[in-house]
Amino acid sequence: MQQNYLYPQVFMVDGSQNLNPYVPPPAWALPTLKKKRKLDWRTVGTILLLNLVLLALAGLALGTVYLLELQKEIQEMKQDNGGKGPVAHKIIGAQNFTQPPKDLRIAAHLTGDSITAGSNPLVWDDQKGHAFTSGILYKDRGLVINKAGIFFVYSKIYFRSYVCDRKNLEHIVFKRTDRYRKELILMEAKKTNYCSGNGWATNSYQAGIIHLLKGESIYVNVSDSRLVDFAESKTFFGLYKL
Ligand SMILES: *[C@@H]1O[C@H](CO)[C@@H](O)[C@H](O)[C@H]1NC(C)=O
Ligand SMILES: *[C@@H]1O[C@H](CO)[C@@H](O)[C@H](O)[C@H]1NC(C)=O
């Protein structure tokens, strides 16, 4: 009895029972090898199938999450843009005029704007018709230099009136700069004796190559803006960077 009691402890551990005929197989013993293999194929198949289904579900969930994130991002971009339009607009609009891209040619052509008749400096149109600005800001009646350089600056004024009262005509292109309090005249033209009878017209055109610094701005004054014809083809002001 003492021997019987000792043996099972040893043999049951490695699963080969019945070397000792007196010890019954334990209740918890694994099923026989044949039965076990049959069950395994079925189980493995089921597990594989389950895994595939889980994988597919996980993929779907991930896809949904990704789409939702994308949608959120687009919404945020639209909101940043003030809901004004496509994202491309935002990128162009966000451009800080003090740092234009290198390949952008700085140029502007401003045309007469009659709403300002009677006041100086002249107000210009920077968008309608032939007018445009590229890489430079038109602000408070002037062009704001965003990058130091050498500029070709030009301006034409078409003066006309039905009355010849022989006042001198003046056409001045000047700049404002932080370094001086006074405005500095860049180009000026003066006309006397330009009319003899009633109903007259005359042009003043000036152009020059001028060195301008960042932060400076340029404007046009005339002696009497009520004598100016503001048609876009007759009165204009512009520049381009060399
Ligand atoms: C550009 O950015 C500078 C500072 O980085 C700022 O002082 C300036 O006002 C900006 N200019 C424009 C036109 O937004
Ligand atoms: C331009 O006109 C304005 C308004 O009359 C005047 O204050 C300013 O001194 C003028 N500037 C120049 C350079 O003539």
Tell me the pLDDT tens digit for each residue of 9-57: 544 445 455 555 565 555 565 555 555 556 688 888 899 999 999 999 9
Calculate how far, in angstroms, residue 224's C-alpha sits from the geometric centre of ligand 2: 11
Calculate how far, in angstroms, residue 6's C-alpha sits from the geometric centre of ligand 1: 92
Domain end residue (candidates: 68, 99, 130): 99
DSSP characters over 70-81: HHHHHHHHHHHT
109 in the same domain as 196:
yes
122 in the same domain as 164:
yes
166 in the same domain as 71:
no
160 in the same domain as 134:
yes
| Ligand 2, atom 5, residue with closest C-alpha | 120
87 in the same domain as 109:
no
235 in the same domain as 146:
yes
169 lies in some domain: yes
Domain end residue (candidates: 99, 114, 136): 99
110 lies in some domain: yes
134 in the same domain as 228:
yes
Cα separation of the two ends of the chain: 114
120 in the same domain as 235:
yes
**How much is the pLDDT for 195?**
92
Residues contacting 56, CB < 8 A, separation 6+: none
**How much is the pLDDT for 44?**
87
Whole-angstrom distance, CA of residue 169 vs CA of residue 221: 11
236 in the same domain as 117:
yes
17 lies in some domain: no
30 lies in some domain: no
89 lies in some domain: yes
Calculate how far, in angstroms, residue 185's C-alpha sits from the geometric centre of ligand 2: 10
98 lines ligand 1 (CB under 6 A): yes
Please count the structural domains in the chain.
2
188 in the same domain as 139:
yes
Report field, pTM of the whole predicted structure over 0.75: no
Q: Which ligand is nearest to the CA of 120?
A: 2
Calculate how far, in angstroms, residue 221's C-alpha sits from the geometric centre of ligand 2: 6
Q: What is the average pLDDT value for the chain, to the nearest integer?
A: 83
Q: Which ligand is nearest to the CA of 94?
A: 1
DSSP characters over 216-237: -EEEEEES-GGGB---TTTSEE
197 in the same domain as 82:
no
E strand map for the chain: 107-112, 124-125, 132-134, 137-139, 142-144, 149-161, 169-176, 184-191, 200-212, 217-222, 236-241
174 lies in some domain: yes
Residue span of the structural domain in which 111 resides: 102-241
Q: Which of 167, 129, 155 is nearest to 220 (CA)?
A: 155
Per-residue pLDDT tens for 189-218?
999 999 988 899 999 999 999 999 999 999
**How much is the pLDDT for 82?**
54
Per-residue pLDDT tens for 132-166?
999 999 999 999 999 999 999 999 999 999 999 88
Token couple for 30? 């694994």
144 in the same domain as 45:
no
Q: Which long-range contacts (CB under 8 A, 24 or more apart) does 8-13 make?
A: none
Give per-residue burial for 60-83: e unless 16+ CB within 10 Å, then b: eeeeeeeeeeeeeeeeeeeeebee
1 lies in some domain: no
Hey, how many other C-beta atoms are within 10 angstroms of the C-beta on 162?
7
Bigger pLDDT: 116 vs 92? 116
For residue 135, the domain's CATH number is: 2.60.120.40
Domain end residue (candidates: 99, 124, 143): 99
**How much is the pLDDT for 43?**
87
